[in-house]
Structure formats: C-alpha cells, structure tokens
Chains A and B, each alone.
Chain A
Amino acid sequence: MNAATAQTGNPDICLPVMNEQDVQQAVRQCRRLCMQYGFKQVQAFQVATALAELAKNMLYHADGGEIHIRLLHTPRTGIEIEACDHGPGIPDIEQAMQNHFSTRGTLGIGLPAVKRLMDEMQIETVTGQGTRIRARKWR
C-alpha cells in the first residue's frame, strides 16, 4: 500500500459518469462536500471545475468512467478527485498536458487547467487499458 492509499482510507463518494447529467451531479456533490468541510468558495469552485474537466474528458475521450471524491486528513485536510476509465489511455502525457493540445479539436486546455486549479496532480495511463487521474487540493 502506498502513502496515497493509506491516506485515503475512507473513500467518500464514487459516482458513475456516463453522460452530462452525471457530470452535473458529481459537480454538485463535490461543491457541497467542499463547503461542508470548510473549503473557501473560491477553492470549492476550483475543485468543481477540475472535476468537470476530468469527467468530461472521460465522456469524450473514453467511454465514460467513474469519479471518486475523497476527503484527505493527513498531512492536513484536503480533497482528492480521482477519475478512472477503461478508455484508450493517453499515449503521450507530456503532450496532453500542453495548452491547446487536443485529439478532438476542442480547446485542449482541460488537463493543464486541472494542474493549475489543483495543488497536486498525478496521471497513470496504459495505452489500450485506461486512465486514472488523481488531483488534490489542500484546504
């Protein structure tokens, strides 16, 4: 078990993302949780925006997936968003993290924006198997 799993022993919420309504649901839950746990409104909006980017990426670049929202307690209070899918994976992460890179002709700012909106971001991806992106924000 790595440090991240130990820290996040209490997964709070797991939500399927198969359509835009699901994204909206997840966004609502996320913002509610953030407010409930004392994040500032600016932070709550940042986390919700990052969640929306990750969730929509699963919709448009994979066949949907799951969003996990977890509270972190160590080393301090934070929130973690995890987006998991069994899509095609991201062949070149560095390229995908560049502003304006998109394989669908959309804006291509979602992934780099997640990095700016959150404090930490980690991408695990296997071509042909799927992608798992985790992003954290500390309160």
Chain B
Amino acid sequence: MDTDSFEKYEQNPINQLWDDILFLPIVGMVDSARAQDIMDVMLEMAERTGARFAILDIRGVSVVDSAVANHIIKITKSTRLLGCTTILTGVTPAVAQSLVNLGIDLGDIATSAQVRDALKLAFNELGYVIHQQTSA
C-alpha cells in the first residue's frame, strides 16, 4: 500500500462489520477529492470482501448541499455496480428536510437516521436472525 492509499484509508476508515457488510462513517467536509477517495475505498473494499451491503454514515458530514448529495449518489451508484448496495445513515429529519428543499431525489437508496436500523435491514436482507440467548 503506498502512502497515498494509506492516507485514504486513514481519512476514510472503512470497516468490515460483518461478512457481507461494510461500514464507513464520513466525518468533515466532502469536496470532489474527498468524494473520489471515499469512492476508491468503497470500491476496493467491496471488491476485496465481496460485501453485499455498505452502510455509509453521513451524520458527521459538515453539510449536505447539492454538490455533496451528488457525490454521495455517484458513490452509491458505482458501488452498486459491484453488487454492493449502500444504505445511507445519519439521514436525520433535518438532513432529510434540506434534501427535499434542494430537490435531490435519493431514488431507491435506502436511508435511515440510525446505523442500528441499517444494520438490522442488512441482516434481514442477508437472512441473519439475531436473537438474545435467554438464561434458563
């Protein structure tokens, strides 16, 4: 791994949360260069792990304006080409309202406010059933 791609992963710490599930929290600002880095790490990890879902958490993004929303849509589209579906989290009511005002249509991208809900959705789609062991 060269320095560049090391930094890419440092800035965008993508994780394999489960066999088929990636998780990437984005913090700070997303300009074109950052968006390209995010796209790179998502595609590289999706290819390497064969993951079928990527949870992209945008709660920490400074602001979701039209340019940022457009970057996010492009990232999810390209990841999907590798068979990896993005679930967008951190889409709080405030973010959702601004997206509506922007006139941005997230189309069929699944969104939720909480990472927990995205994880449940992915587990569900992948056929995992989570249950708490009861002590007899």
Task: Pick the residue among A21, A45, A51 that contacts B29 (CB under 8 A).
Answer: A21
User: 8 A-B pairs, CB-CB below 8 angstroms?
Assistant: A24-B29, A41-B93, A56-B67, A99-B103, A106-B67, A110-B65, A116-B101, A117-B101
CA distance A28 to B29 in the complex (A): 11
A23:B94 contact, CB within 8 angstroms: no
Q: Mark A97-139, 1 if CB is under 8 A from B, else 0.
A: 0010000001101101100110000000000000000000000
Q: Does A48 contact B (CB under 8 A)?
A: yes
A59 (CB) vs chain B CBs: closest residue = B31
The chain A residues found within 8 Å of chain B, CB to CB, are 20-21, 23-24, 27-28, 41-42, 44-46, 48-49, 51-53, 56, 99, 106-107, 109-110, 112-113, 116-117
> Which residues of chain B have C-beta atoms less than 8 A from A45's C-beta?
63, 94-95, 97-98
A41:B94 contact, CB within 8 angstroms: yes
Q: Does B109 contact A (CB under 8 A)?
A: no
CA distance A99 to B8 in the complex (A): 34
Q: Does B17 contact A (CB under 8 A)?
A: no
Q: Mark B36-65, 1 if CB is under 8 A from A, else 0.
A: 000000000000000000000000001111
> Which residues of chain A have C-beta atoms less than 8 A from B102's C-beta?
49, 109, 113, 116-117
Looking at the assembled complex, report how far the CB atom of B113 sits from the nearest CB atom of chain A, in whole angstroms.
12
The chain B residues found within 8 Å of chain A, CB to CB, are 28-29, 31, 62-67, 70, 92-95, 97-98, 101-104
A117 (CB) vs chain B CBs: closest residue = B101
B101:A107 contact, CB within 8 angstroms: no
B63:A113 contact, CB within 8 angstroms: no
> Which residues of chain A have C-beta atoms less than 8 A from B64's C-beta?
49
> Which residues of chain A have C-beta atoms less than 8 A from B67's C-beta?
56, 106-107
CA distance A117 to B101 in the complex (A): 6
CA distance A74 to B110 in the complex (A): 42
A113:B97 contact, CB within 8 angstroms: no
B94 (CB) vs chain A CBs: closest residue = A45
Task: Pick the residue among B62, B95, B98, B104 that contacts A117 (CB under 8 A).
Answer: B98
The 10 nearest A-B residue pairs measured at CB: A45-B94, A52-B65, A116-B101, A24-B29, A49-B98, A20-B31, A52-B63, A117-B101, A113-B102, A27-B63
> Which residues of chain B have C-beta atoms less than 8 A from A117's C-beta?
98, 101-102
Looking at the assembled complex, report how far the CB atom of B125 sits from the nearest CB atom of chain A, in whole angstroms.
30
